[in-house]
Chain A
């Protein structure tokens, strides 16, 4: 059974909006957005989850322990950038 979860998840309580994850992502999955509902005013958001190859570059570089990337091979069901429900394992 596929888990219901994004391949990349950002913890908005910990993210300080430094932008390093956006800089290192080879697939341009993340973007910095202004959001007045988070504590720092800006945060990283997963914009194109279907492009994620789960290389964990963003998880490794994140200085605030706020990004978690699922392991390659785990089947996930999530909504892509166009709003369709898709299932992917890598």
Chain B
């Protein structure tokens, strides 16, 4: 046994709530293995989730956990990260939760590049509520709200996240746990927003309606949509149509992380306030000039330069 999972799980809540063959458990296990390899303490980790089958993960892991409102997990996680920049913050959620209902929050977290790791369990369906089709259901697949097959075009979540400016974007597959663990680990280590889109089987609500009720059969079906990034390089655009590339799709090591840039701003703003306070009191020394440049001082002071002097004279 490589990893002692019982260390990270709330064993009194077991067995897991998910249906037999549901991929959520595989993804959770890969994620726990990645955390174990990184050696992060349980009290340094905070996990946030919204609503859905995938979002039930927060009930089982023994970290700081928050089970929040539908689609808003990323917003809550960003808030936690901003107030506790030293903690590791993760989001778990389904496609319906994170992309469909909370898509707006996903886009803006990508844009801001806040250091949150999102594990998106993409099972192509709204699993918990009985199999309504979501924005990732492949065209033609049957769902409870599409008994004759969906006719809507789908969205490529990874391309959307890259476009919105996410720092790390990868796609994994629950049927390939070894590689998935590596992708999740890389995402956890990355300083900035990381999204790992995991294709995961929902044999009960997606599979059964599409004659793929056997989890093994559904896993093979999902695999037929995926190509590894190494193989994709050798394929033409024509061949890649309708396929999804697995692996690390985007990694930007240059983009500044939000909490770091915010901290930098706070330090400069405090230095500028301190400078003006001392200036007003007439206690400025030569050292204070080194702390902040003249240009920065002008830019950061939210009022005109004369105001504090006038205010002071009035007293």
Residues of chain B having any CB pair with chain A under 8 Å: 1-2, 5, 9, 14-16, 18-26, 29-30, 175, 177-178, 203, 214-216, 219
Are B215 and A60 closer than 8 Å at their CB atoms?
no
Residues of B within 8 A of A13 (CB): 14-15
Tell me the A52-74 residues at the B interface (CB within 8 Å): 56, 59-65, 68-71
Residues of B within 8 A of A19 (CB): 21, 214-216
Known contacts A19-B216, A20-B21, A20-B219; decide if A65 and B14 are in contact (CB<8 Å). Answer: yes
Known contacts A64-B16, A65-B16; decide if A20 and B216 are in contact (CB<8 Å). Answer: yes
Assembly CA distance A19 to B21 (angstroms): 7
User: How far is the CB of B2 from the nearest CB of chain A, in Å?
Assistant: 7
Known contacts A68-B1, A69-B1; decide if A63 and B18 are in contact (CB<8 Å). Answer: yes
Residues of B within 8 A of A20 (CB): 21, 215-216, 219
Are A63 and B2 closer than 8 Å at their CB atoms?
no
Asked whether any CB of chain B lies closer than 8 Å to the CB of A23, the reply is yes
Asked whether any CB of chain B lies closer than 8 Å to the CB of A33, the reply is no
Tell me the A27-81 residues at the B interface (CB within 8 Å): 40, 56, 59-65, 68-71
Assembly CA distance A23 to B217 (angstroms): 9
Asked whether any CB of chain B lies closer than 8 Å to the CB of A10, the reply is no
Are A63 and B24 closer than 8 Å at their CB atoms?
yes
Are B14 and A61 closer than 8 Å at their CB atoms?
no
Are A63 and B214 closer than 8 Å at their CB atoms?
no
Are A14 and B215 closer than 8 Å at their CB atoms?
no
Partner of A14, one of B15, B19, B178: B15
Residues of B within 8 A of A22 (CB): 216
Residues of B within 8 A of A14 (CB): 14-16
**Residue from B16, B20, B29, B175 with most neighbouring chain A CB atoms (10 Å):** B20
Asked whether any CB of chain B lies closer than 8 Å to the CB of A16, the reply is yes
9 tightest CB-CB pairs across the interface, nearest first? Answer: A63-B25, A18-B21, A23-B216, A16-B20, A18-B20, A60-B177, A68-B1, A18-B215, A14-B15
**Residue from A14, A64, A69 with most neighbouring chain B CB atoms (10 Å):** A64
- Residue pairs across A and B with Cβ atoms less than 8 A apart, 10 shown, are A13-B15, A16-B20, A17-B20, A18-B21, A18-B22, A56-B2, A60-B29, A62-B25, A63-B23, A65-B5
Assembly CA distance A44 to B2 (angstroms): 21
Are A63 and B15 closer than 8 Å at their CB atoms?
no
Residues of B within 8 A of A40 (CB): 20
**Residue from A40, A65, A71 with most neighbouring chain B CB atoms (10 Å):** A65
Residues of A within 8 A of B1 (CB): 59, 68-71
Residues of A within 8 A of B22 (CB): 18, 63
Partner of A63, one of B14, B21, B178, B216: B21
Closest chain A residue to B32, Cβ basis: A65
Closest chain B residue to A13, Cβ basis: B15
Residues of A within 8 A of B219 (CB): 20, 23
Residues of A within 8 A of B5 (CB): 65
